[in-house]
Chains A and B, each alone.
Chain A
């Protein structure tokens, strides 16, 4: 296995008095797609928020050689920890291009940003067609493309995609998964946080199953898909 990019050990976190995550340990290596699956309320989004330092946590988080524990969300983002938030969270009244450019807000160097923009348009030709359109006026799938493009504009080292498939038609989800596979081939590392267990494990190299705030199963995507427990609980087989 190649070098570790993100290493989380014994992470616990919660909101006020309520503890949500208990001793979570996960590992993401460079260049792989890791799926973090589990049903609603399992603590996936809380883990994401702890990783991006929006909530405090105990335990160890190491990202790209840096200890994240004392960093602000801003600093974590600066290190290349970028997320595509659940519900897309686009700037609805701004154009697609403006949304994409907001992803590059902290970057300098026009030609560099321009090159990333071309890259994003190549991945999502639809965004190029719609670049002057208000983001809020597009279909759900196009909005998700825009949200993913915006995150890519930040040149992430780790792209964390939260509930990408939510509310989208299966054929659109397949297209988006294809794009994730494509950017992985070009070296991107992806953490895919999904309720749609089957969709996520289709493209992932490895996966973690979360239940009530803890990781209960881990393994290669293939092994998890074939795991009888996972099949019964999540795939309805």
Chain B
């Protein structure tokens, strides 16, 4: 029982970070209809921003979080404005190709500049734990989880309460009508893509604290984010949280009871099941 509780706690903590990773992908997918295959590369870049700020300037990774997010926001905004807007609303195959190319370019640029070595952001408190009801909780994972949840709720509030956030949702639902009432899609798309990239950057910074990074972590993280976005659905950021935590728990349970090598089998197996049984996501309308 104690063991199960510990595994569940690990899963939930992991899942919060997963949710943050997937959030940007789901946002960009839902609004722009682009499955951004470079999303994992954005996460990787965000992690390196955090890593270099820490190793060169001794800036705490949680303090560096806004910097990671800001840098990736600018990168995402520029990429959308000058590259992806050229193919806005193009068939999905085109956008898959171009973001795949982007992923390859970013990955190999990272390899050139950062080397292929594994890195880790290792603040003094990295090994700290505390115990709650007999469950051991690593401090950095708890912090990363809390930040992930705060950012998710912030995004949800932005989309539902703010004028520009509402326009982003309106554009996702009915582009033609949004234009009728003065929404300028190009700027809004760039802003949305920038936001999605910023969330990836934030996730990357946190990922660098709880795990090792190198230039090649992106592809697997894109795949995982994709699975979570599908499981959680694209309509509601809170769905992504449910999807992320669900996947985190499944992976933790699988690692313990089946074996660590089967983790990806479990998560992508669930993806297939969700696609068959609830194609709109766990919280979405039933099929």
| Residues of A near any B CB (own CB < 8 A) | 52, 73-74, 77-78, 82-83, 85, 89-94, 98, 101-103, 105-106, 150, 154
Of A52, A74, A82, A93, which is within 8 A of B173 by CB? A93
Q: Which residues of A contact B178 (CB under 8 A)?
A: 91, 102
Least CB separation from B169: chain A residue? A94
- Please tell me if the beta carbons of B174 and A89 are within 8 angstroms of each other in the complex: yes
Measured CA separation A105–B167 after assembly (Å): 8
Measured CA separation A94–B181 after assembly (Å): 15
Q: A91-B169, A101-B166, A105-B167 are in contact. Are A74 and B235 (CB under 8 A)?
A: no
Determine the interface band of chain B, counting residues with CB < 8 A from chain A. Answer: 10 to 19
Measured CA separation A91–B177 after assembly (Å): 8
| Residues of B near any A CB (own CB < 8 A) | 163, 166-167, 169-170, 173-174, 176-184, 235
Q: A91-B169, A105-B167 are in contact. Are A154 and B181 (CB under 8 A)?
A: yes
Q: Which residues of A contact B166 (CB under 8 A)?
A: 94, 98, 101-102, 105
Measured CA separation A134–B176 after assembly (Å): 19
- Please tell me if the beta carbons of A91 and B170 are within 8 angstroms of each other in the complex: yes
A-B CB proximity, top 6 nearest: A106-B182, A89-B177, A91-B173, A91-B170, A102-B170, A77-B182
Q: Which residues of A contact B235 (CB under 8 A)?
A: 93
- Please tell me if the beta carbons of A85 and B163 are within 8 angstroms of each other in the complex: no
- Please tell me if the beta carbons of B169 and A83 are within 8 angstroms of each other in the complex: no
- Please tell me if the beta carbons of B173 and A102 are within 8 angstroms of each other in the complex: no
Q: Which residues of A contact B184 (CB under 8 A)?
A: 74
Measured CA separation A89–B175 after assembly (Å): 10
Q: Which residues of B contact A154 (CB under 8 A)?
A: 181-182
- Please tell me if the beta carbons of B173 and A92 are within 8 angstroms of each other in the complex: yes
Measured CA separation A89–B177 after assembly (Å): 6
- Please tell me if the beta carbons of A103 and B181 are within 8 angstroms of each other in the complex: yes
- Please tell me if the beta carbons of A102 and B167 are within 8 angstroms of each other in the complex: yes
Measured CA separation A16–B177 after assembly (Å): 23
Q: Which residues of A contact B177 (CB under 8 A)?
A: 85, 89-91
- Please tell me if the beta carbons of B179 and A101 are within 8 angstroms of each other in the complex: no
- Please tell me if the beta carbons of A105 and B183 are within 8 angstroms of each other in the complex: yes
- Please tell me if the beta carbons of B180 and A78 are within 8 angstroms of each other in the complex: no
Of B169, B174, B179, which is within 8 A of A90 by CB? B174
Measured CA separation A101–B170 after assembly (Å): 11
- Please tell me if the beta carbons of B173 and A77 are within 8 angstroms of each other in the complex: no
Given contacts A89-B180, A105-B166, 4 further A-B contacts (CB under 8 A): A73-B180, A90-B177, A91-B178, A106-B181
Q: A93-B235, A101-B163 are in contact. Are A77 and B170 (CB under 8 A)?
A: no
- Please tell me if the beta carbons of B163 and A94 are within 8 angstroms of each other in the complex: no
Q: Which residues of B contact A52 (CB under 8 A)?
A: 180
30 contacts between A and B (CB under 8 A): A52-B180, A74-B182, A77-B180, A77-B181, A77-B182, A82-B181, A83-B180, A85-B176, A85-B177, A90-B177, A91-B169, A91-B174, A91-B177, A91-B178, A92-B173, A93-B169, A94-B166, A98-B166, A101-B163, A102-B166, A102-B167, A102-B178, A102-B181, A102-B183, A103-B181, A105-B182, A105-B183, A150-B181, A154-B181, A154-B182
Measured CA separation A111–B43 after assembly (Å): 42
Measured CA separation A103–B179 after assembly (Å): 11
Least CB separation from A106: chain B residue? B182
Measured CA separation A52–B176 after assembly (Å): 13
Measured CA separation A102–B183 after assembly (Å): 9
Least CB separation from A77: chain B residue? B182
Most buried by B among A83, A85, A103, A105: A105
Measured CA separation A52–B184 after assembly (Å): 15
Measured CA separation A185–B201 after assembly (Å): 55
- Please tell me if the beta carbons of B182 and A94 are within 8 angstroms of each other in the complex: no
Measured CA separation A76–B178 after assembly (Å): 15
Measured CA separation A52–B181 after assembly (Å): 11
Q: Which residues of A contact B163 (CB under 8 A)?
A: 101, 105
- Please tell me if the beta carbons of B174 and A73 are within 8 angstroms of each other in the complex: no
Q: How many Å from the CB of B162 to the closest CB on chain A?
A: 11
Q: How many Å from the CB of A140 to the closest CB on chain B?
A: 17
Measured CA separation A33–B125 after assembly (Å): 72
Measured CA separation A106–B183 after assembly (Å): 8
Q: Which residues of A contact B182 (CB under 8 A)?
A: 74, 77-78, 105-106, 154
